[in-house]
């Protein structure tokens, strides 16, 4: 009868630990290890190149922003320098010329808009409604009369074109709006509507005169 050999648990544990270490593992195929190292190197190089590209793009965008800011500030500085008074050597300068209002004068106001039609005295002499003491609204059923005060875009002509007084001009506007509401004239042009009241000319409105 053969007596079994007694093996201590500590020796088994020590052997398992030693065989589980990386340097104790059996040698693998050299070709597979070289390919694994190559793939790892490629991955690291690609990640590094991507990081460098992102950093380069970020730096380029920052440089562009700085250039834009510099151009804007230089433009503002040039505009200020153009309006700022210059001093020359050998010339005396009074103290009041060193104030902010003198160094940076305000811009001149824009020119006034042209007059909106003739003055009151002139308009009273050339306004036919004022001279004949009639009202434009008495011709509200005549579309040709309303079209005479409308431009090509269908807008009411101003006093600069009609030469009427303010009172007659307001009544002309009422006349045109009333004709639009009744559908006698178009709101988009000054041409008579085909087949409408104004298509036959002034002969159709003789009964309204």
The residues spanned by each domain of the chain are 39-73, 120-208
| Strand ranges in the chain using DSSP code E only, listed in sequence order | none
Residues 179-208 have pLDDT tens digits of 999 999 999 998 887 777 766 665 555 554
Residue 140: name the closest of 190, 97, 183 by CA: 183
- Whether the pTM exceeds 0.75: the reply is no
Q: Can you say how many angstroms the Cα of residue 123 is from the centroid of all Cα atoms in its chain?
A: 43
Residues 58-95 have pLDDT tens digits of 888 788 877 777 776 666 555 555 656 666 777 777 88
Dihedral Cα 161, 164, 168, 174, nearest 10 deg:
0
Residue 161: name the closest of 118, 111, 112, 114 by CA: 118
Residues 134-171 have pLDDT tens digits of 999 999 899 999 999 999 999 999 999 999 999 999 99
Collapsing DSSP to helix, strand or coil, 12 comes out as helix
Residues 91-124 have pLDDT tens digits of 777 888 778 887 777 877 877 666 678 999 999 9
Give dist(CA 184, CA 175) in Å, integer. Answer: 11
Q: Which CATH number fits domain 120-208: 3.30.70, 2.50.20, 2.40.10, 4.10.640?
A: 4.10.640
Residues 16-56 have pLDDT tens digits of 544 444 555 455 555 555 555 667 778 878 888 888 888 88
């Amino acid at each position: 009868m053969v007596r079994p050999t007694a093996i201590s648990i500590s020796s088994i544990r020590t052997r398992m630990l030693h065989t589980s270490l990386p340097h104790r593992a059996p040698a693998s195929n050299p070709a597979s290890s070289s390919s694994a190292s190559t793939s790892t190197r490629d991955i690291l190089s690609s990640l590094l190149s991507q990081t460098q590209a992102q950093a380069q793009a970020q730096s380029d965008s920052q440089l562009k922003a700085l250039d834009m800011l510099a151009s804007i500030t230089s433009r503002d500085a040039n505009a200020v320098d153009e309006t700022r008074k210059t001093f020359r050597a050998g010339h005396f300068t009074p103290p009041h010329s060193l104030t902010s209002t003198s160094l940076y004068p305000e811009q001149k106001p824009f020119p006034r808009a042209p007059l909106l039609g003739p003055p009151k005295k002139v308009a009273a002499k050339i306004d036919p409604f004022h001279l004949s003491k009639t009202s434009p609204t008495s011709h509200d059923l005549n579309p040709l009369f309303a079209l005479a005060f409308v431009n090509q875009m269908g807008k009411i002509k101003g006093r600069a074109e009609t030469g009427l007084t303010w009172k007659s001009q307001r009544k002309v506007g009422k006349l045109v709006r009333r004709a639009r509401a009744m559908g006698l004239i178009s709101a988009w042009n000054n041409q008579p509507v085909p087949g409408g009241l104004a298509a036959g000319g002034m002969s159709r409105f003789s009964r309204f005169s």
